[in-house]
Amino acid sequence: MTLERGSLAAIFRKNNLLSEYEKQEPVFVWTEIAGELGKVARPKKVQGGSLVLEVPSAAAKQELSFLEEELLDKLNENLTHSKVDKLKFKLGQFSEGSGMGEKSYDIEEISLSEEEREKIEKELADTGLNEPASRSLKSLIVTQQKKRKVRLKEGWHECPACGGVFPDYKCSHCGFDRREVDTA
């Protein structure tokens, strides 16, 4: 469950932090509009006029840099308090290593269900990206979903706060610690 943007603003306002919310609004809006892309490019902070997004690989960084203009347009259309001039893609702390334990996997042999593919297609249709950009983004998301699927099969945990996956107790994406809520 995620909080609506209006609810977040109310919480920040109540705690005299509304100006901070307004500065960081792109982080919250990115989370709303990114859909499946949010699993590949996670917002970290607003720095100057730039939104810093954490990505899992150099390939993801390159693919997303080709889409920057279109992603910026969509983001700015949904902002009410600020404007973002640039997206900065930084290699982040995605739990990698080989990312999938000791075993080696051929990503092409991992299949996604029809439901998973339909969800990706719907998310891409909602982006309004042109065909080449959409195709490129689809390839990136499908690859990330396949890696996610393998990790979950290997016992990784899905974070209820951000949707990322992590191998132990603490989500490296948002800091959620499942030990704080596990009762068993």
Return the pLDDT at 38: 78
Q: Are 18 and 8 in contact (CB under 8 A)?
A: no
pLDDT of residue 6: 63
Question: Which sequence spans correspond to the domains of the chain?
Answer: 5-180
* CB-based contact 146:153 (threshold 8 Å): no
Q: Which residues pair with 165 in a beta bridge?
A: 158
Closest CA to 116 of 83, 138, 95, 86: 138
Return all residues near 117 (Cβ < 8 A) that are at least 6 apart: 142
pLDDT at 182: 60
Residues in the chain with pLDDT < 70? 1-18, 20-21, 93-105, 173, 182-184
> What CATH number does domain 5-180 carry, 3.40.50.2300, 3.90.1150.10, 1.10.150.120, 3.30.300.180?
3.30.300.180
| Residue-level pLDDT at 89 | 93
